[in-house]
């Protein structure tokens, strides 16, 4: 039962790499296609918090009893074994550092050997890792580790599908705040592994004046261009007093865009515009404020993404990369003694 895993080293987490700057990436100067997506201290800490909660959820009964009842009934505490983590479908591997974190939280004697680096294009049957140690820990951590790794790999796979469509164009694909509660840092990490770019991390680290902000200021459903310009001016003043905030303003019409451009925000978000309207917006921007970036969003799918990029958008934000991602199929298979 004690499989020979001699010489198998524990996985070293890449905590020495630097995380994405606070607030994600807003400026075009930071959007370098093909740049490795680091797993840093922020991601590690977020993963540890989430794993603590997830294991508590999985190992605690409503009446307070703790542990894996099946393992306690059947599996001796001294029993050791090994297992293989394998892919069952095609996709992009992301979030593997959560795997050793899960199992080490259950038993420090667990060993995890990575067989595929982050960003690997997986195919069915491809080995991802080998695990060895106490069987109770292997069985107790299996579902939590798979749930997290499958989810993050699914996000990376979806991000890759979008990003590769404009890889040859001067346009980047960004995520949004449409993430799973509690998983934002990790899902945004997975987006980077897939080749797309992070928008702001949360509400505190960037100003994004959206339609509802403008509506409440104007007191009506659609704000007039003057209200949009006044909001852009006020947002710019606040950002200048509270660096390094960047300012993005959402517009729905070219009339709003013309007024907002006069205040030179960092980015203008073109909401639910057609590719033809985006092209007109680019022409207006080039004439009035060529340094302002234009971001297209709303109604953009895999089928029409490239059309928006060719229309001249600098950025395209896609919420579907996170909220419509499907978990990648994987399995943890027991390896019997030879």
Catalytic residue selected from 43, 113, 175, 250: 250
Backbone angles phi, psi at 183, to 5 degrees: -115, 10
Note whether 165 and 305 are within 8 A (CB).
yes
Catalytic, out of 33, 48, 88, 143: 143
**Best CA proximity match to 47, nearest among 103, 121, 86:** 103
Active site residue 210: yes
Choose the catalytic residue: 88, 178, 184, 279.
178
Catalytic residue among 65, 121, 210, 222: 210
- Is residue 250 annotated as part of the catalytic site, yes or no? yes
- Angle among Cα 113, 118, 121 to the nearest 5 degrees reads 110
Please identify which of the residues 271, 280, 307, 329 carries the catalytic annotation.
271
**What are the residue numbers of the active site?**
143, 178, 210, 250, 271
């Amino acid at each position: 039962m004690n499989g020979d895993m001699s010489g198998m080293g524990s996985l070293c987490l890449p905590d020495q790499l630097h995380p994405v700057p606070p607030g994600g990436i807003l400026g075009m100067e930071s959007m370098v296609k093909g740049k490795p997506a680091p797993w840093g201290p922020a991601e590690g800490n977020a993963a540890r918090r989430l794993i603590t909660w997830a294991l508590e959820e999985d190992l605690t009964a409503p009446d307070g009893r703790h542990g894996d009842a099946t393992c306690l009934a059947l599996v001796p505490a001294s029993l050791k074994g090994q297992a293989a983590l394998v892919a069952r479908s095609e996709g992009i591997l992301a979030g593997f550092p959560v795997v050793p974190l899960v199992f080490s939280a259950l038993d420090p004697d667990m060993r995890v050997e990575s067989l595929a680096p982050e960003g690997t294009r997986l195919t069915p049957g491809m080995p991802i890792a080998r695990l060895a140690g106490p069987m109770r820990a292997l069985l107790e951590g299996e579902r939590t580790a798979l749930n997290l790794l499958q989810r993050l790999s699914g996000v990376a796979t979806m991000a890759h599908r979008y990003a590769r469509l404009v890889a040859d164009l001067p346009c980047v694909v960004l995520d949004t705040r449409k993430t799973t509660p509690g998983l934002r840092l990790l899902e945004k990490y997975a987006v980077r592994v897939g080749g797309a770019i992070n928008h702001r991390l949360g509400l505190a680290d960037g100003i994004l004046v959206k339609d509802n902000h403008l509506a409440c200021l104007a007191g009506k459903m659609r704000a007039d261009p003057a209200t949009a310009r006044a909001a852009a001016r006020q947002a710019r003043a606040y950002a200048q007093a509270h660096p390094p905030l960047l300012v993005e303003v959402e517009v729905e019409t070219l009339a709003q865009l013309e007024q907002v451009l006069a205040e030179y925000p960092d980015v203008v978000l073109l909401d639910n515009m057609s590719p033809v309207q985006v092209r007109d917006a680019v022409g207006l921007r080039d004439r009035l404020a060529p340094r302002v970036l234009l971001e297209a969003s709303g109604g953009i799918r895999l089928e029409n993404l490239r059309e928006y990029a060719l229309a001249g958008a600098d950025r395209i934000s896609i919420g579907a990369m996170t909220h419509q991602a499907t978990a990648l199929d994987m399995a943890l298979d027991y390896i019997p003694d030879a």
